[in-house]
Chains A and B, each alone.
Chain A
Amino acid sequence: MVSGKGGTGKTTVAAALALTLAHQGRRTLLMEVEDRQGIAQLFDTAPLPYEERKIAVAPGGGEVWALALNAQEALLDYLDTFYNLRRAGSVLRRMGAIDFATTIAPGLRDVLLTGKACEVVRRIDKRAPNAYSAIVLDAPPTGRISRFLNVNSEVSGLAKVGPIRNHADLVMGVISSPRTAVHLVTLLEEMPVQETIDGVSDLRSANLPVGGIFVNMTRPPMLTSEQLREARSGTLPALAIERSLAEAGLTFDNQVVTALMHDAIDHAVRVDLEARETTRITELGLPTFMLPLISEGIDLGGLYQLANLLRECGVR
């Protein structure tokens, strides 16, 4: 499960993770649950249907498949599996019944979505031919993740007994087992880090398994610690810089020197802030993975780049 504050790139990290885990001929499934078609946009393909589709080939022959989950389709799926009701589905849909049932309670919605994920997981136990070696779920953002995964308590208010109750118990069994991990994606900025810290404590108090922290879009310091110190204390040697610029054949005015020194001060402030945020993340005591900013923007090439880095960090 991959969660994170909005704008931190959790879909990107989920996709890179699915690619990483698909190495050496393995098959992984990348799922999304929020009707955003984020996977299709990231892999630059047509919108995904409610159907497992091969979406990319991993280095070494592995395959990444994708599935865009949708609560209404999942309900029809569920009705079909347990009640043989698929044929009545289109009529029910026209009457607004499917819409009704999936909106009647978000708990039902969530249990249908996580339930589908668990069905795919359990194919492994059944040694089914369509099983995957890993399933990566691009989950709702940190603010909603505990509620989304804690289907048990969500459904408990709704159904005390009956099939959906049993279904929820089964789902909860998979989600809270060691085979599940909830990873959180963050940036080295105050708000996303705070949300990550809060998210970890929410997950822990709901007894949900916390995985690792993926620090996305990191930018390494571009100045040495000595240079940063000079920038901070305002003692960068303006005259020497001016002389060097002339040396490099740049025609310039004072504005250039001032701007370069100003950039350096800004950079020092950011490096300090990032160091503070890194400490706060480290204090969580969780496995942490640093992913660089891909300055060209994320396309398929960028995803492979991130996947390779994750492999080098020991993700497998």
Chain B
Amino acid sequence: MSGFARLLRRDLSLLLGNGRGGPLLPMLFFVAVAVLFPFAVGPDAPLLARTGGGVLWIAALLASILPIDRLVTPDVKAGVFDQLALRGLSEELAMAARLLAHWLSFGPLLLLATLPAAALLGLDGRTLQTLLLGLLAGTPGLAAIGLVIAALTTALRSGAALGGLLLVPLGVPILIFGAGALARPDDTGIALCAAISLALCAVAPFAAGAAIRAGREG
């Protein structure tokens, strides 16, 4: 088993288990938005069906903020990345494993939760399909942004609150193309959303790794 596989195994059991708050909270938050939205705008079925997809995109973006504060900070405080570096496992490798584990612990659950959420808002089949494809393309990008923010703000005392604020503007491109695909007849929006996600996932381990190394000098 390679170093990456060992790291991924620990990260997955950490993020899926009860070690870091568990994976259910973002999913419940996401469904809660779908439950509350009809109460706020009233039982207007056409309006809900027209706006529901966009609301679920916003819910997904905000739900991806929830795990940020415990994604990296506890390990930095405990010196885990220092000890890995002393064993020749780079911060980049650790962050790549953490990125994959982070997405696996909230992406698939969010997609699953989209089904009841879409039913609550009365979305039709085509909208649901576009929404699911868009979230599949966009959530890895949101995970990558979350990881970089988590690594960058780990030395800050109010890092958790700041992290949430930072993710909102950085997530806008994913939101524009992902949610924008709902109003388009073709899939170009989803393709662009996936392209942004891919680029973010490629950069994130290096940016987050560099942030952890820079944090040692502080």
A joins B in a complex: no
Report A's interface with B, CB cutoff 8 A.
none
